[in-house]
Amino acid sequence: MEFKDKQSIYLQIADYICEQILLGKWPPGERIPSVRDLGGMLEVNPNTVMRTYEFLQNKEIIFNKRGIGYSADEKANERILAYRKERFLEIELPEFFKTMYLLNVGLEELQARYESFITDSYPTTL
């Protein structure tokens, strides 16, 4: 996994774990890799993975069963979507709006490009 400079590594690992859960690779209720296993897979310090797991536990996305390990919560998908939506609206969207303003991109141009993107990327849904 290649890490970006703009975001803490533990949050990038949290995003990775959330993606695995959303993709069904680590289904709710089933065990996810141990702290050491994931640290080895991603080539990061186990302490960083532990910080990630604590963060995701606080968000109620994963839980720890003593003696068994960590698992994705039954409502993990809902909580991941809520967490990502909140982060998008609170952090990413304001930055996006700032860039739009600085580049003088209007809502009309944005809407046209959005509709084109949706049509090209998801043609069967419209």
At 64-123, the pLDDT tens digits run: 988 899 999 999 999 999 999 999 999 999 999 999 999 999 999 999 999 999 998 887
Phi-psi region of 111 (alpha: psi -120 to 50; beta: other; left: phi over 0): alpha
What is the pLDDT of the chain when averaged over all its residues? Answer: 93
Q: Is 105 exposed, middle or buried (0-12, 13-18, 19+ CB in 10 A)?
A: middle
Name the pLDDT band for 26 (thresholds 50, 70, 90): very high
Q: Return d(Cα 49, Cα 109) in angstroms, integer.
A: 41
* Of 65, 106, 108, 43, the residue nearest 53 (C-alpha): 65
CA triplet 120, 24, 31: central angle to 5 degrees?
Answer: 160
Domain residues of the chain, as ranges? 9-76, 83-121
Q: What is the mean pLDDT of residues 43-67?
A: 96
Question: What is the b/e burial string over 56-79, where b = at least 16 CB atoms within 10 angstroms of the residue's CB?
Answer: beebebbeeeeeeebbbbeebbeb
Whole-prediction pTM: 0.79
- Assigned CATH topology for domain 9-76: Arc Repressor Mutant, subunit A (1.10.10)
What is the amino acid identity at position 100?
M
Tell whether the model's pLDDT for residue 2 goes beyond 60. yes
Tell whether the model's pLDDT for residue 126 goes beyond 50. no
Tell whether the model's pLDDT for residue 51 goes beyond 60. yes
How large is the greatest C-alpha to C-alpha distance in the chain, in angstroms? 56
